[in-house]
Amino acid sequence: MDEICFLPATRLRAALAARELSAREVVRAHLDRIERVNPAVNAVVTLVAERALAEAHEADERAASGVELPPLHGLPVAHKDTHDTAGIRTTYGSPLFADHVPERDELVVARMRAAGAITIGKTNVPEWAAGSHTFNPVFGLTRNPYDLSRSAGGSSGGAAVALACGMHPLADGSDMGGSLRNPASFTNVVGFRPSPGRVPTVPAKLAWSTLSVQGPMARSVEDAALLLSVLAGPDPRSPISLAEPGSSFARPLARDLAGARVAWSPDLGGSVRVDREVRAVVEASAKVFEELGCRVERDCPDFSGADEVFRTLRAWQFGVRFGPLLGTGMVKESIRWNVEEGRRLTGPDLGRAEVLRTELFQRVHEFFTRYDFLVLPVSQVPPFDAGLEYPVEIDGEPMETYLDWMRSAYFVSATGCPALAVPAGFTGAGLPVGVQIVGPHRADFAVLQAGHAFERATGFGERRPVTD
């Protein structure tokens, strides 16, 4: 049955369509896998097994009737616990919402279910998805399956671990400062931060914001593109949603990269401190693109101002979203700090951040007139000690806040460019390390094509953790 659990989503979907497998077999296999493996890693935190099996029965009945089947027919999924699911507990990792059961699915969940996906439960997150290490006072810590003493990253850490361990083939996530990318890097799976508006966020308190996005995770780039084809597409309730239909991501990803212009940097042009083993993986990844026929140069955009842009806009948003919760006394200290930072901001502070962001966008745009892709580290460190809230130093340089070690991801967030985390190697201790492929403004499909070519050339993503 474990063979079913590690089939690519595209192959699993084909087997379901051909009725070589039934949805009940597929769901049952994944539920059995969760029962056996999840206790060690704590990735799936709410399970709705009976409901999932009932939905699988209905899916098999539809298949037997001969109707055209939707793109995710019969595929089991567990949704991120910050994404509202109708009738299923959604806690946001907060003790304030430990028993919260939403009345409606939010858009990403609704689109997946309309496409035939079967909800089996929810995946763990940091409290309010704040920070790239998955632990909270409701469900506790999610552990890295490659080394249970290590962090799984976050905030989509439960989703990433569940994918790596074969608990479901596809996952939805979200990303402000790296929450789709960092956990993918830490667990040897794929996480894609699409362009803002590519996947509309509905409902949203700050609907005009482009800092946080939702997107797909999977064990392969092709599977991530399959899920994106369902998640993407316009929605009139989102003022920034892009008009291109999601079906455009259902096209084949195969592309000859010969002649493509690729820039790479192990440290974002010297602007961030990066662990030496991570740097080595990025350098080796650049050589892979050379072998694919690309014209590769060590180069990087000027990321000046990206730190201030991200931290200012993040703090302002935290103040808006979480300020009312501070009086409860039930919010973790890092969120309290970020809210207080936001409350100290002035109008000129926000104005300066937007000017810097515009200048950053223009510099990056100019950079991508000379290059097609930019290859960077996803995370500045390999998976760190799960007993820490965040890495306290990198090669001797202290990290003063829980955000400092995430700059390699959140500098890219500040640009608005699409970015893919794809498996790229392992440390000497066998810990996964991903590489980040960044593309020009709204060049989402091209980034997926580059990631697909890299993945096919290396095969790193085929390595699975030992979980039994």
pLDDT digit string, tens, across residues 62-104: 999 999 999 999 999 999 999 999 999 999 999 999 999 999 9
**What is the sign, positive or negative, of the torsion defined by CA atoms of 462, 220, 404, 92?**
negative
**420: enclosing H helix or E strand:** strand 419-426
Q: What is the predicted pLDDT for the residue at 32?
A: 98
Residue 467 pLDDT? 86
Every domain of the chain and the residues it spans: 2-462
Alpha helices in 178-332 (DSSP H): 182-187, 221-231, 276-291, 306-322
- Which is the CATH superfamily of the domain at 2-462? Amidase signature (AS) domain (3.90.1300.10)
pLDDT tens-digit series, residues 366-406: 999 999 999 999 999 999 999 999 999 999 999 999 999 99
Q: What is the pLDDT of residues 266-296, one digit of tens each?
A: 999 999 999 999 999 999 999 999 999 999 9
Tell me whether strands 76-80 and 118-123 are parallel, antiparallel or unpaired.
parallel
Are 219 and 247 spatial neighbours (Cβ–Cβ below 8 Å)? no
Assess whether pLDDT exceeds 90 at residue 2: no
Q: Is the Cα torsion angle 448, 453, 455, 456 positive or negative in sign? A: positive
Q: pLDDT tens digits for 288-339?
A: 999 999 999 999 999 999 999 999 999 999 999 999 999 898 999 999 999 9
pTM over 0.75: yes
The count of other CB atoms within 10 Å of the CB of residue 66 is 7
Q: Mind listing the pLDDT tens digit for each residue in 201-233?
A: 999 999 999 999 999 999 999 999 999 999 999
pLDDT tens-place string over residues 416-459 = 999 999 999 999 999 999 999 999 999 999 999 999 999 999 99
Half-sphere exposure in the Cβ direction for 196 (13 Å, CA): 16
Both tokens assigned to 459: 């095969």
End-to-end Cα separation, the chain, in angstroms: 13
Show the tokens assigned to 85.
């699911």
* Averaged pLDDT for residues 131-151: 98
Which pair of structure tokens corresponds to residue 107?
């858009």
Q: Is 131 left (phi over 0), alpha (psi -120 to 50) or beta?
A: left
Pair of tokens at residue 89:
């507990």
The two structure tokens encoding residue 313: 């806009």
pLDDT exceeds 90 at position 354: yes
3-state secondary structure of 267: coil
Which residue has 């595929």 as its token pair? Answer: 75
> What is the reported pLDDT for 468?
73
- Residues 415 and 438: their CA atoms lie apart, in Å, by 10
167-171: average pLDDT: 98
Q: Which residues carry out catalysis?
A: 80, 155, 179
Residue 33 in contact with residue 247, Cβ under 8 Å? Answer: no
DSSP secondary structure, 157-215, as one string: HHHHHHHHTTS-SEEEEEESSSTTTHHHHHHT-EEEEPPTTSS--SS-TTTT--S-EEE
Percent residues over pLDDT 90 in the chain: 99
Mean pLDDT along residues 138-154: 98
Mean pLDDT of the 37-64 span: 98
Query: Helix crossing, 306-322 with 407-415: angle to 10°?
Result: 90
Token code pair at residue 263: 């820039």
Q: Which of 150, 221, 171 is nearest to 44 (CA)?
A: 171
pLDDT given for residue 172 in this prediction: 98
Please, what is the angle between helix 107-114 and helix 221-231, to 10°? 100
